[in-house]
Amino acid sequence: MPRAIDHVVHASRDLAAQADFYTRLGFTLGTRNQHPWGTENHIVQFPGHFIELISKGPGFKTPADLDPHTFSFAGFISSELEHGEGLSLLALQTQDAPTTRAEFKAAGIGDFEPFHFERKGKRADGAESHVAFTLAFARSPLIPHIGFFTCQHHRPEDFYAPALQQHPNGAVAVAGVVIVAENPAAHAEFMSALTGQREMLATSMGIDIEVAVEQSIEILTPVAFRYRFGEAALGEGLGEPRMAVCRIAVRDIALMADMIEESGVTFARVGNRLVVPPSAAFGAALAFEAVTD
């Protein structure tokens, strides 16, 4: 089975402002959490996956040089924020991170030690929770500005909360992410090994990898991207391949349009999508689409 999206990491330099932005767009956010290494986050939950809003906290310290077999989550976030805000890491699901790590090593896409961490949190009712994760990382030298990993949840019952998955804007899922690259085909082998999906749709526009029902990872050429999401959605990011858009499925596209208009956030109607450009969304474009039946 392919590895579905577990979460998308949206990094910013001002977590409070980013949280306010998502709230004004009609999302329900979890409480502000602290990681042991100094980053802080808010979680936007959907059933079985989420968007992670993340920034460096006041106690953050840039990690020292590490062993090449260690992927520094904190170091990667810090480095990317020096370049700019935006979608910085993509996590896929796994039930067994050590086995996934072995598969990545055999495929030649990651020889990093599994990374385990735990943190305290709060449930929707305010009660304290304790969550734990093990991560297995992969890297492509052709995609230096996106971090890839799988995430094993050891206590999902303490992490996911149905009350936090009810969003006033009617959002129900992350429908996928879109990476922009001059030559999408050059990344097909890596993405196949990463996702476990051996079949993908390849066209002159790029490649489309279905990782779950109604959820995909796409790599599009800049021309195809502009056609699908509009010129403003491309922004002025790095020249290397980058994760440019998070696609979000909503129940009522008209309601979503009303909420964006009421928030005062800039957006454009591109085909049947509502696209908030990176200039308004902390370096990442958000594309809202009506849920398919």
**pLDDT (tens digit, 9 = 90+) per residue, 228-281?**
999 999 987 656 799 999 999 999 999 999 999 999 999 999 999 999 999 999
Q: Are 84 and 281 in contact (CB under 8 A)?
A: no
**pLDDT (tens digit, 9 = 90+) per residue, 12-64?**
999 999 999 999 999 999 999 988 888 999 999 999 999 999 999 987 877 77
Using the predicted structure, report yes or no on whether residue 216 has a pLDDT greater than 60.
yes
Question: Domain locations in the chain?
Answer: 5-165, 171-290
- Classify domain 5-165 at the CATH topology level: 2,3-Dihydroxybiphenyl 1,2-Dioxygenase; domain 1 (3.10.180)
Compute the distance between CA of residue 253 and CA of residue 170 in angstroms, rounded to an integer: 9
Residue 124 confidence (pLDDT) = 65
Residue 280 confidence (pLDDT) = 97
* Weakest-pLDDT range from 35-39, 150-154, 198-202, 269-273: 35-39
| Max Cα–Cα distance, the chain, nearest Å | 51
Q: How confident is the model at residue 293 (pLDDT cuts 50, 70, 90)?
A: low
5-165 and 171-290 share one fold:
yes
pTM: predicted TM-score of the whole model, two decimal places: 0.95
Bridge-based pairing of strands 128-138 and 147-153 is antiparallel
Residue 237 confidence (pLDDT) = 62
Q: Could you tell me which CATH number the domain at 171-290 has? A: 3.10.180.10
Residue 239 confidence (pLDDT) = 66
